[in-house]
């Protein structure tokens, strides 16, 4: 009789434990939810600019970037080759893997207003900025549909 008692308790306990599992399984599937407004504002806030000092120590290069990649960028196809992620449309880096710059501007290290680089394509995506050794120009890549273009901006 002693051996039958634990089996009886177990037989009664198992169905009782299964009821909450069955109730959870019947709940509706979760839907997409928006975060609370303060969280959305934090996520949508424009990031601080990146800063690079010229080799002659006279000018700052200020780089603007988007906060997060868009869903469209994340869903673009990519080729995976030996650890690299390549955009098959232009043989450049996969858009979801690069933190693209959205604008460049120069500012004197002594202060004053920033001077934006003009003449860039609308909604330009830039990367790989590099100062010339004399500090008078900056080279950078512009992502275009046909590939990556090398551009140079005068300070």
Confidence class for position 71, pLDDT limits 50, 70, 90? confident
For residue 42, pLDDT beyond 60: yes
Q: How many CB atoms lie within 10 A of CB 65?
A: 17
| Domain ranges for the chain | 49-69+100-154
| Residue 152: predicted pLDDT | 98
| Residue 74: predicted pLDDT | 84
Question: 0.75 exceeded by the pTM?
Answer: no
- The two tokens of residue 9 are 């308790």
Mean pLDDT, residues 11-18: 63
Closest CA to 138 of 66, 47, 60: 60
For residue 1, pLDDT beyond 60: no
| Residue 43: predicted pLDDT | 86
Contact 101, 64 (CB under 8 A): yes
Q: Which of 21-30, 76-85, 93-102 is most confident?
A: 76-85
| Residue 4: predicted pLDDT | 61
For residue 48, pLDDT beyond 80: yes
| Residue 21: predicted pLDDT | 58
Closest CA to 114 of 124, 106, 103, 122: 106
């Amino acid at each position: 009789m002693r051996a039958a008692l634990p089996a009886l308790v177990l037989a009664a306990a198992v169905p009782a434990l299964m009821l909450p599992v069955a109730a959870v399984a019947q709940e509706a599937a979760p839907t997409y939810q928006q975060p609370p407004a303060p969280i959305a504002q934090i996520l949508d806030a424009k990031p601080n600019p990146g800063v690079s000092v010229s080799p002659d120590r006279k000018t700052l290069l200020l780089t603007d970037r988007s906060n997060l990649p868009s869903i469209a960028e994340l869903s673009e196809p990519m080729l995976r080759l030996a650890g690299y992620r390549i955009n098959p449309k232009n043989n450049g880096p996969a858009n979801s893997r690069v933190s693209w710059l959205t604008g460049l501007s120069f500012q004197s290290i002594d202060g004053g207003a920033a001077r934006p680089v003009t003449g860039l394509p609308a909604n330009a995506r830039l990367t790989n900025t590099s100062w010339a050794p004399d500090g008078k120009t900056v080279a950078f890549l512009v992502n275009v549909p046909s590939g990556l273009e090398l551009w140079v901006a005068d300070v």
